[in-house]
Amino acid sequence: MPQNASRAAGRHFLHIPGPTPVPDRILRAIDTPLIDHRGPEFSALARRALDGIKTIFKTTNPVIIYTATGTGAWEAALVNTLSPGDRVLMVETGQFASQWRNMAQKLGLVPEMIPTDWRVGVDPAAVEARLKDDKAQTIKAVCVLHNETATGCMSDIAAVRRAIDAAGHPALLMVDTISSLASVDYRHDEWGVDVTVGGAQKGLMLPPGMSFNAVSDKALAAGKTARMPKSFFAWEDMLTMNRQGFFPYTPATNMIQGLVVAIDMLHEEGLETVFARHERLAEATRRAVRAWGLEILCRDPNAYSSTVTAVLLPEGHNADAFRALALEHFNVSYGASFGPFAGKYFRIGHLGDTNDLTVLAALAGAEMTLSLAGIPHRKGGVQAAMDYLAEAHAKPERAAAE
């Protein structure tokens, strides 16, 4: 550390929508001494991880674990199921949907994007209409985000599946759950998803560097004829070794130690309780934003995200300057803005190992920064969030008394 560096007292409040803070229990697991990744101890550990992660995706089919960020799992989903020149249908819900489209283009696929204004989720009717127009069934996959991290808009995946079925179209359904997995109810098997992409650094409470593909039987069958080049991401190589409790290359052994503990922690809390906690914190955040008199970027209440809320600032006020001021004065980090809204909003992440008090701290930091920055707003956002949270906690007690 430079001699003239100043120390900030207390903890850093990381309220970007991922990576999220890593609990001490998971850090301790990752800190476990290294073991032989070709030995019996690791095989037992890997089997626990491979079986356990299925319960998070709610699938009985294989889930493939990659030593890569979610971007790698995007690529794995595409290259294991498709062939050069294949058409894929996507929906422009925001920055990350756009990046997945860009990747498809670079890989030699032909993506078609259904546009939006970045303030809504996927419209299943638009997907159905486009697939019905595809009389020759040249579209081989529909790729959508469950939760668009850049905008705080969530999509109804079960409805997208129904739209594909209503169109009578054989396209694969691929879903990105990177900022929703282990935070919001998700059902890979029940919703008929063919490839679900997940990441470790958000709801799973791990550091970046691990991602997943949950795969259906239909996706595995598509993989038999897919002609996209692949090596590191090849499903068949992974599945062959996974059956023995191993990987075809050196895996992130200590991340797998952490993953096993993360899965245990989620089940100890109870997945339904985890989902309810995230929605409670999201609603508290939205109530604060409305009390401030500011606008939520997601304009469809049915699409509000349970993991991240994007807050539009009034015209003439720069969100990047706001974020810098918050970090400087209150040691809190908020998420950046993108695309046509760059510099116009900031994002409050309320996912992962967080609770009422940590989110209230993030809201307090935001309200104080609004004042410091001279941004027009009403006072009382934090109070509105506190009132809601107190009431939410009182309801179960009242129900028990009755």
The percentage of residues in the chain with a pLDDT greater than 70, rounded to a whole number, is 97
For 100, phi then psi, to 5°, come to -65, -40
pLDDT value at position 382? 98
> How many Å apart are CA 350 and CA 16, to the nearest integer?
8
Among residues 196, 136, 145, the alpha carbon closest in space to that of 172 is found at: 196
347 annotated to bind ligand: yes
pLDDT value at position 225? 97
3-state SS assignment for residue 264: helix
Task: Say if residue 402's pLDDT is above 70.
Answer: no
Task: Say if residue 385's pLDDT is above 90.
Answer: yes
Q: Is the dihedral of CA 71, 75, 81, 83 positive or negative?
A: positive
pLDDT in tens, 101-124: 999 999 999 999 999 999 999 999
The count of other CB atoms within 10 Å of the CB of residue 356 is 18
pLDDT in tens, 293-307: 999 999 999 999 999
The pLDDT of 126-132, averaged and rounded, is 98
pLDDT value at position 1? 45
For the chain, counts of helices (H) and of strands (E)? 13, 14
Using 50, 70 and 90 to split pLDDT, how confident is the model at 400?
Answer: very low
3-state SS assignment for residue 186: coil
pLDDT in tens, 308-353: 999 999 999 999 999 999 999 999 999 999 999 999 999 999 999 9
CB 82 within 8 A of CB 109: yes
In angstroms, what CA-CA distances link 58 with 207, 219, 327?
22, 16, 38
Task: Say if residue 401's pLDDT is above 70.
Answer: no
> How many Å apart are CA 178 and CA 196, to the nearest integer?
9
Task: Say if residue 397's pLDDT is above 80.
Answer: no
pLDDT in tens, 12-28: 999 999 999 999 999 99
List of long-range contacts for 368-372, beta carbons under 8 Å, 24+ apart = 368/329, 368/330, 369/322, 369/325, 369/326, 369/329, 369/330, 370/292, 370/322, 372/325, 372/329
Q: Which two tokens stand for residue 9?
A: 């007292």
pLDDT value at position 399? 42
pLDDT value at position 7? 82
pLDDT value at position 4? 60
pLDDT in tens, 133-192: 999 999 999 999 999 999 999 999 999 999 999 999 999 999 999 999 999 999 999 999
Domains of the chain: 13-19+270-396 (3.90.1150.10), 24-267 (3.40.640.10)
Using 50, 70 and 90 to split pLDDT, how confident is the model at 2?
Answer: low
Using 50, 70 and 90 to split pLDDT, how confident is the model at 8?
Answer: confident
pLDDT value at position 6? 79
The pLDDT of 47-57, averaged and rounded, is 98
pLDDT value at position 395? 80
3-state SS assignment for residue 229: coil
